[in-house]
Chains A and B, each alone.
Chain A
Amino acid sequence: MAPGILLALLGVAVVAWIAYNGVQNGKLFWVVTLNGITLAALFFVVAAGFTLIFGLMRVVNMAHGSLFLLAGYIAFTLQGTLYGVSSNLLSGTPATVVSWIVPLVVATIVIGLAGVLMQQVFLRWNQGQDLRQALITIAISVILADQMVAHFGGIAESIQQPAAWPDSVTVLGVHYGFFRLVVVVGAAIVIGGLLFLVIKRTRFGMIIRAGVDDRSMVSALGVNIQVVFAGAFLIGALLAGLAGVLGGTMLAVQPGNDSAFLLDSLIVVIIGGMGSLGGAAIGSLALGLVSSYSNVYLNFGTTDLTNYSILLTFILVVAMLAVRPLGLFGRPA
């Protein structure tokens, strides 16, 4: 296993380099790590929905990122029109808990329903034709991206978090963003736990697991798998919507985030294995930490390579594909 040994050596070198830098500047290391973890939490909420749909229905929903971004725009617009919230320091009204939660709930539900509509109208009659479905969802994502630029403009906006919430919390001696660390990570943990319970304990979850294993056999046992498909698509789109609002509050709502988060979801699923919730969690963490560390630690004294940090996430994917083509928890279809 030559590539395996090579990758192991590379991994050891990377860990040693990060550890060396961590010892040099502990506070920076801790902040960078928290950046990675909070980013991972957001990736997880997006990718959990993506992997659920991918694993059960073999649909690579290339419009998943578009649903994510559209949710952000819907929540942003609702915050402005319903509550007059804006980030303008002179004329704006700060957000309250209600004027953050209501847009979040509405945007999430609207996107969930939009996802089911998309599945019923465009994907249902193409079941099993992976390529055609991928192309249809790419078309939807391109159209949505253009329409969003037309309606919401090209400027980065952001959803305002409630003013009542603290800006930062102190963890191990560093001040860190409250929303990122408490709200986003908390949401990811709660969602992960809920999804785990649904998949492990409910009949719906059992059918999803069975469907990931062998769809047509599930159907031959009298289970109307179409209903389960629609349910899975609803959950997947709801998660994309929720993540879009969280991401729009934590980072920004801007053109390009749709394809960026689609790509992130793909990477997470490639690392974790399609259809696996645990895989999505570990894949998110790997992607979050790698992109966060490489943004800072790809700097070797006189040579600053942090511009190339995005390459490292792809090296992560290549390494995973070389060692485990199906991802950490993936199983052959």
Chain B
Amino acid sequence: MSAPVLEVSGLNAFYGRAHVLQDVAFTVDEKPVAIIGRNGMGKSTLCQAIMGMLASTTGSVRFGGKELVGLPPYRIARLGLGFVPQGRRLFPSLTTDEHLQIIPRKGNGSWTPKRVYETFPKLAERKSTGAGQLSGGEQQMLAIGRALLTNPKLLIMDEPSEGLAPIIVENVIDTIRKLAAQGVGLLVVEQNLGVATALADRQLVMVAGRIATETTAQELIGNIDAQRRFLGVEPPSVRQS
């Protein structure tokens, strides 16, 4: 196993007085990692903190040895972190094609709009369609394609299955797996256990702003009690500190 790609340690984030991330620490190497946990546990905040999109973040996020905390989001993106946010956050004023044109092109990148259209042929048929008119699945493809154009070494995906029909979710899972097979690192945040376990073996469980425990897909799939504790409706009985 080579050196970790992403090292998060002692990461704290605040919304006003709310202490949303509390000393979060984990590493991601070239193998996909999923972060699971119920609503409101700080998963999306974690993604935004890594991407530099939060004003008050302390601690350390290192990527390829470089410290990211304190850098503006565009520098973090240019260092090779691609972000597919929760709710996709496409630009309603832009067409499909315009989404791909605004991404700055680095000289050595292998992803081009042409390659995105080859990867997602459906998008090629809808080049001049406004992002708001795309179907949920197409929107997710565009959000992924847009992030790929930054030529990421690591793709951070926040709830990629949210709001999609099951058959489309299968599609998205396939796509992400193919990308991972091409060597793109993967950090997936998911509430949907089926999706999380399909995409990554390593599963980090987030509870109340901390990484409570680490487990594996196999362990989770067989362990209904663990599923209940980490993702179910009952209050979590484990709250490690």
Query: Is the CB–CB distance between A220 and B73 below 8 Å?
Result: yes
CB distance from A54 to the nearest CB of B (A): 15
Tell me the nearest residue of chain A to B152, going by C-beta: A222
Contacts of A209 in B (CB 8 A): 91, 93-94, 98
B72 interfacial contact with A, CB 8 Å: yes
A203 interfacial contact with B, CB 8 Å: yes
From the candidates B55, B74, B91, B149, name the one contacting A220 in the complex (CB within 8 A). B74
Query: Is the CB–CB distance between B91 and A219 below 8 Å?
Result: no
Q: Restricting to A206-236, which residues have a CB under 8 Å from any CB of B? A: 206-207, 209-210, 212-214, 216-226
Contacts of B72 in A (CB 8 A): 219, 224, 226
Give the A-B contact count at a CB cut-off of 8 A: 71
Cα–Cα distance between A226 and B72 once the two chains are bound (Å): 10
Contacts of B77 in A (CB 8 A): 219-222
Query: Is the CB–CB distance between B73 and A216 below 8 Å?
Result: yes
Contacts of A212 in B (CB 8 A): 93
Query: Is the CB–CB distance between B74 and A223 below 8 Å?
Result: yes
Among listed B22-30, B31-39, B100-108, B199-207, interface-contacting one: B100-108
Tell me the nearest residue of chain A to B51, going by C-beta: A220
For chain B, which range describes its interface: under 10, 10 to 19, 20 to 34, or 35 or more residues? 20 to 34
Query: Is the CB–CB distance between A206 and B101 below 8 Å?
Result: yes
Tell me the nearest residue of chain A to B72, going by C-beta: A219
Residue of A203, A206, A209 ringed by the most chain B CB atoms within 10 A: A206
Count how many chain A residues have C-beta atoms less than 8 Å from C-beta atoms of the other chain: 21
Query: Is the CB–CB distance between B93 and A217 below 8 Å?
Result: no
Cα–Cα distance between A128 and B53 once the two chains are bound (Å): 12
B150 interfacial contact with A, CB 8 Å: yes
Contacts of B103 in A (CB 8 A): 221-223
Contacts of A128 in B (CB 8 A): 55
CB distance from A254 to the nearest CB of B (A): 39
From the candidates B74, B94, B147, B150, name the one contacting A206 in the complex (CB within 8 A). B94
From the candidates A207, A213, A220, A226, name the one contacting B92 in the complex (CB within 8 A). A213
> Contacts A219-B72, A220-B73, A221-B150 given: A203-B102 contact, CB under 8 Å?
yes
Cα–Cα distance between A225 and B102 once the two chains are bound (Å): 11
> Contacts A219-B72, A222-B77, A224-B74 given: A206-B102 contact, CB under 8 Å?
yes
Query: Is the CB–CB distance between A219 and B89 below 8 Å?
Result: no
Contacts of A207 in B (CB 8 A): 102
B78 interfacial contact with A, CB 8 Å: yes
Cα–Cα distance between A216 and B89 once the two chains are bound (Å): 10
Query: Is the CB–CB distance between A214 and B102 below 8 Å?
Result: no
Cα–Cα distance between A125 and B183 once the two chains are bound (Å): 38
The proximity string for A residues 122-138 relative to B, scoring 1 for CB distances below 8 Å and 0 otherwise, is 00000010000000000
B137 interfacial contact with A, CB 8 Å: no
Q: Restricting to B60-104, which residues have a CB under 8 Å from any CB of A? A: 72-74, 76-78, 83, 85, 89, 91-94, 98-99, 101-104
The proximity string for B residues 106-131 relative to A, scoring 1 for CB distances below 8 Å and 0 otherwise, is 00000000000000000000000000
Contacts of B78 in A (CB 8 A): 222
CB distance from A11 to the nearest CB of B (A): 30
**A/B interface sample: 29 pairs, CB < 8 A:** A206-B94, A206-B101, A206-B102, A207-B102, A209-B91, A210-B98, A212-B93, A213-B91, A214-B89, A216-B73, A217-B89, A218-B91, A219-B72, A219-B73, A220-B52, A220-B53, A220-B83, A221-B77, A221-B83, A221-B147, A221-B149, A221-B150, A222-B77, A222-B78, A223-B102, A223-B104, A224-B72, A225-B74, A226-B72
Q: Which 7 A-B pairs give the minimum distances between C-beta atoms?
A: A222-B77, A219-B73, A209-B93, A210-B91, A213-B91, A220-B73, A217-B89
Interface residues of A (CB under 8 A from B): 128, 203, 206-207, 209-210, 212-214, 216-226, 331
Task: Other than A217-B85, A220-B53, A220-B77, give 4 A-B pairs with Cβ distance below 8 A.
Answer: A203-B101, A216-B53, A219-B74, A221-B149
